Chains A and B, each alone.
Chain A
Amino acid sequence: MRRGPIGAALRSEWRKVTTTRTWWVLALALFGYMLFLGATIGFAITHPDLASSGGSGDLQVHGRAAAELVYTLAASFGYAFPLVIGALAMTGEFRHRTITPTLLAEPHRGLVLGAKLAVSLAVGVLYGVAGTLGAIAGGAPLLATGDGTFLTSGAVLADLGFCVLALAGWSAIGVGVGSLITNQVAAVIAILAFTQFVEPVLRIGLGSVHALSGASRYLPGAAAEALSGSSFYSSAGMAGLLERWQGGLVLLGYAVVLAVLGRLTTMRRDVA
């Protein structure tokens, strides 16, 4: 491993991520965002009398379900962060023209892309941990004033693990997106447009048409929520989800298909 080209490519990609500030700045932002959301949703659940019921409707969840909903908020709302960091791993190479030294050191482009995918999974796990810890830090103190934190429940802890995996999957999808859209600005815009607009509209739109509601379960966001086991959208009464393992496979499938497409198109081009 240490001497082989695969191990070397992995270490090289890991160093690329850890030698700039981007990764921890984004991870910190994710932590802060989830801290805020965890506290907000936790407050809405435990103090329904005080929370405004005009906006997102009443959250009729209690006990363990409430804890799962709050702690896995990162899977529903924080996934743009690992998605972006994954895409930056690829687009940054083109933006800063480091793709030239990268391909000089490792001329096998498939190996470079594969190493980026693998490292992005590890980075995605870090993001999952940061996001989940943020949601717990924000939500648990409030849940403690209601039905309890459920932080010692095996089922809740398992959900946290799957939530972390879901964010890791998003990070790998990000690498796939970046290998297809190598322009950094275009990639980030595509990610924001899809996650904040296209997918929510599709999920609501497809979900409301009976014949198509099955299809919405295969959208990446829905698949990630299936994997993480708790969904803000489904808790809010929108469409069902796949089985957990199916969600994981669909999520991984998006990453692999995008990366293969990127390898066959963008990554085959001349680097000039």
Chain B
Amino acid sequence: MIEIRGLTKSFGPVRAVDDLSFDVHPGSVTGFLGPNGAGKTTTLRMLLGLVSPDRGTATIAGTRYRDLVRPGQRVGAALELSGFHPGRSARDHLRVLAPRVGVDDRRCDEALEAVGLGVAARRRVGGYSLGMRQRLALAAALLGDPEVLVLDEPANGLDPQGIVWLRQFLRHLAHQQGRTVLVSSHVLGEVQETVDDVVLVAAGRLVHASPLDELIAMAAPRVRVSGPDITGLATALTRQGWTVSGEGGVLLVAGATPAQVGAVAFGAGVELHELAAEGAGLEDVFLRLTQPGGPPKEPVA
């Protein structure tokens, strides 16, 4: 549904987005993840026609955003660095957008109800909390009942209940209603329970794109083991059905604990010099993939 192809953008000497390509599919929530400054917001702004790319294309159902007829009914977006006039009520904020989105006042009220702002609809936004502004931005995105939603850091400023609510809301929009949902975040943990697919960027480049399950598999604990008879060790471990990889006299064993590996080595009479658990949480994988200088060049099972 969303296709990003070779997208590139520099601001002066800084290459904010560098030859970025990925897809976002309908019926699932895709997490667009990376540290601050990774180029997420710039990518989303290029997708939505607010920033012109130096190279590459970003399309929605094959069409550039600015070429969509009634874009508000195709794509709903809530972006960071977007704002509201403090003297305008939430309802009036939506009523200002409504004519061009192509909806009436009743739909504005519905959208505010959907995000839980019904009672505050006629209050001026100047008195809103950050969480209420996030909900209003979401209401604006939903105004045209679009099949594609693009949300930039939507969990920022939400309290824990708000984050749970957002999670259920987004999953409902994607899974029950079949919409395409792209959510950016710089904190994987924030969206881990929400997303089905992940796109990881760092320094403007794509570092990983897969279903979340594959990223979780990469986070599965491994055992680092070494000894003088590396071949005998590998043979003994492989016989157990474990996935063994390695180079430079060190083996990485997936699907086993250090105790199990130690027992097998003892049983086979192989001498060990090193035996340790490696890797662990999803957050570690995220940090490893997105760290400055790119992920380390080690083989990944």
Contact = CB atoms under 8 A, between A and B. Distances in A.
Nearest to B137: A101
Interface in A57-108: 92, 96-98, 100-108
A97 B71 contact: no
A96 B86 contact: yes
Given A12-B97, A15-B99, A19-B92, A100 B50 contact: yes
B65 A101 contact: no
Contacts of B41: 272
Contacts of B50: 100, 103-104, 270-272
A9 B100 contact: yes
Nearest to B64: A107
Nearest to B9: A270
A152 interface: no
Contacts of B241: none
Given A107-B49, A270-B45, A11 B99 contact: yes
Interface string B82-106: 1111111100110111111110000
A56 interface: no
Contacts of B87: 20-22
B190 to A, nearest CB: 22
A62 B67 CA distance: 62
A5 interface: yes
Contacts of B85: 20, 92, 96, 98
Nearest to B102: A8
Contact of B96 (A16, A100, A108): A16
A12 B96 contact: yes
B55 to A, nearest CB: 15
B215 to A, nearest CB: 29
B99 A12 contact: yes
B102 to A, nearest CB: 7
B42 A272 contact: yes
A107 B65 contact: yes
Contact of A105 (B51, B52, B83, B97): B97
B196 to A, nearest CB: 25
B83 A271 contact: no
Contact of B92 (A15, A108, A270): A15
Given A96-B83, A97-B81, A100-B79, A106 B88 contact: no
Report the interface size class on chain B. Answer: 35 or more
B72 A105 contact: yes
A97 B83 contact: yes
Contacts of B101: 105
Contact of A271 (B45, B88, B95, B97): B45
Interface string A19-57: 111100000000000000000000000000000000000
Nearest to B48: A104
Nearest to B42: A272
A12 B88 CA distance: 14
Max count, chain B CB within 10 A of own CB: residue among A100, A101, A108, A270: A101
B99 A8 contact: yes
B148 to A, nearest CB: 12
B107 to A, nearest CB: 14
Interface string A243-272: 000000000000000000000000000111
A6 B101 CA distance: 12
A7 B82 CA distance: 25
Contacts of A100: 50, 79, 81-83
A103 B83 CA distance: 12
Nearest to A270: B51
Contacts of B82: 97-98, 100-101
B81 A19 contact: no
B288 interface: no
Contacts of A270: 45, 50-52
Contacts of A7: 99
A107 B71 contact: yes
Given A11-B99, A20-B87, A104 B77 contact: yes
Contacts of B79: 100, 104
B100 A12 contact: yes
Given A12-B100, A105-B72, A105-B100, 12 more contacts: A9-B99, A15-B95, A16-B96, A19-B88, A19-B93, A19-B96, A20-B87, A104-B71, A105-B71, A107-B68, A108-B66, A272-B41
Closest 6 CB pairs of A and B: A97-B83, A19-B92, A107-B66, A100-B82, A11-B99, A8-B99
15 contacts: A8-B100, A9-B99, A12-B98, A15-B92, A15-B96, A20-B85, A96-B85, A96-B86, A97-B82, A98-B83, A100-B83, A104-B71, A107-B65, A272-B50, A272-B51
